[in-house]
Amino acid sequence: MSRLTVRPGPPLRGRTRVPGDKSISHRALLLGAIAEGTGRVENLLPANDCLATLTAVRALGIEVEELSPTTLLVHGRGWHGLQEPDDVLNCVRSGTTLRLLAGLLAGQPFTSVLSGDPQLRRRPMGRIVEPLRLMGATVLGRDHGRWPPLAIQGGRLHGIEYSLPVASAQVKSALLLAGLYADSPTTLHLPGPARDHTERMLNAMGATVETKEAAAGVQPPTSTVHLTPGQRLRPIDVSVPGDFSSAAFLLVAATLSPGSEVTLEEVGVNPTRTGLLDALWAMGASVTLHEERTVGGEPVADLTVRASALRGTEVGGSLVVRSIDELPILAVAATQAEGETRVRDAAELRVKETDRIATTVEELRRLGAEIEPRADGFVVRGPTRLRGTVVHSHGDHRLAMALTVAGLIAQGETTVQDTDCIADSFPGFESLLVRLGGQIS
Ligand code: S3P
């Protein structure tokens, strides 16, 4: 099991790119598989999670040519081109793979079984199983369908009008993929602005997906998505922008390391993803956007971050939805901010790769942070001088990277144990930080 040893060092400086967006990479593979012909994917994220989707797509009979680890040709076979897999589809540790595939497979005239590592088999599936059954799918799983493995007997589906209890993009996307195969429209109501990459890509491929956001000021800030089924998908070329969720670790690392200045090129800045930017700005961070442009229907920009002092802030409501994967690294930033930072409305953190409220609190406390768990978030009091020690990732990629960044500003040496999981979303994280000046071995 690998580990990283981190020490505080010189300022972080330089220009770089982060790897491709994880969410968009999954969708490029899955939607490409059912498009009517060949689409090219540039800058695909070659991380474990996306490779699980790639392996599954191939197991469904789709030919994917790898021109390089990040450039692929997906030979889509159209609406009814998928074939019954002859073995369990192993989604490894990727919740997005399992949930999106479940939606896609619910409309296929064959049986498939989805499973993965123990970490994935502990993640709740009732949130997709229940509405997929309402659409007419037969889905079996442990404890009445609450946990993987899931067995899906696909078949004829009906559109539904359904209110999601959580603002989850995985659930929304699973139901949209199933909805493509339904005999009537699907309308989904969400209690917040979950990432909309599926809708953007479907529209770019010629499907009709309409989104209506509640008027400004309406609480909660609901959104409604309406999908017209049965439309053929045109193959498209997708150029995947850099992953804002990966950039987040570098934004915080440079903010906290005195004298730093880093520019991250071509990062996705879809507003459903950039809640951390709003939180960092509210804390007094210096992050500027340049060269804002649209690439393949997704907003992209270069981000320049300079070290700066921070003050505490409040994060709740739709800001949580827009920064759900960034809350562990926000907690690290908060340890260096003057005053209190409160995160609420974030109970979803408890059902991510780990219970991220419990694991973030436990590990940051080892480093000397003043952080208290709450049922739906945490409270951090700062600034505190962190002290290097041995910390553990719990097998959670985002916690492993957040702790590595904490190690860059902790006194003495920090050892982050069990860091293989970083490759689930950000292969090359360590070497990229080292190139910018990070003292990591
Ligand atoms: C994702 C959605 C989010 C996010 C995950 C990726 C996606 O999960 O945490 O890392 O690609 O749709 P939820 O939809 O469960 O919030």
Amino acid of residue 102: A
254 Cβ closer than 6 Å to some ligand 1 atom: no
170 Cβ closer than 6 Å to some ligand 1 atom: yes
pLDDT at res. 239: 98
Residues 6+ apart with CB under 8 A from 217: none
C-alpha distances out from residue 218 to 222, 273, 316, Å: 8, 20, 15
94 Cβ closer than 6 Å to some ligand 1 atom: no
Q: Which among 91, 88, 179 is positioned nearest to 137, based on CA atoms?
A: 179
pLDDT at res. 219: 73
Rounded Cα gap, residues 392 and 370, in angstroms: 18
Pocket test for ligand 1, best of 50, 168, 223, 425 (most atoms within 8 A of CB): 168
Q: What angle do CA 147, 426, 274 make, to 5 degrees?
A: 85
pLDDT at res. 32: 98
What's the 357 CA to ligand 1 centre distance in angstroms? 16
What's the 220 CA to ligand 1 centre distance in angstroms? 20
Helices 22-33 and 48-59: angle between axes, nearest 10 degrees = 10
What's the 160 CA to ligand 1 centre distance in angstroms? 22
pLDDT at res. 439: 98
Q: Does the annotation count 325 as an active-site position?
A: yes
What's the 168 CA to ligand 1 centre distance in angstroms? 6
Rounded Cα gap, residues 239 and 71, in angstroms: 9
248 Cβ closer than 6 Å to some ligand 1 atom: no
pLDDT at res. 271: 97
User: Looking at 21, 325, 396, 418, which residue is catalytic?
Assistant: 325
What's the 61 CA to ligand 1 centre distance in angstroms? 26
C-alpha distances out from residue 199 to 49, 145, 176, 203, Å: 21, 27, 8, 6
173 Cβ closer than 6 Å to some ligand 1 atom: yes
What's the average pLDDT block by block, 10 residues per block, for the chain (441 residues)?
A: 95 98 98 98 98 98 98 97 98 98 98 98 98 98 97 97 97 98 97 96 97 80 92 96 99 98 98 98 98 95 98 97 98 98 98 98 98 98 98 98 98 98 98 98 95
Domains, the chain, with CATH or none: 3-18+241-440 (3.65.10.10), 22-239 (3.65.10.10)
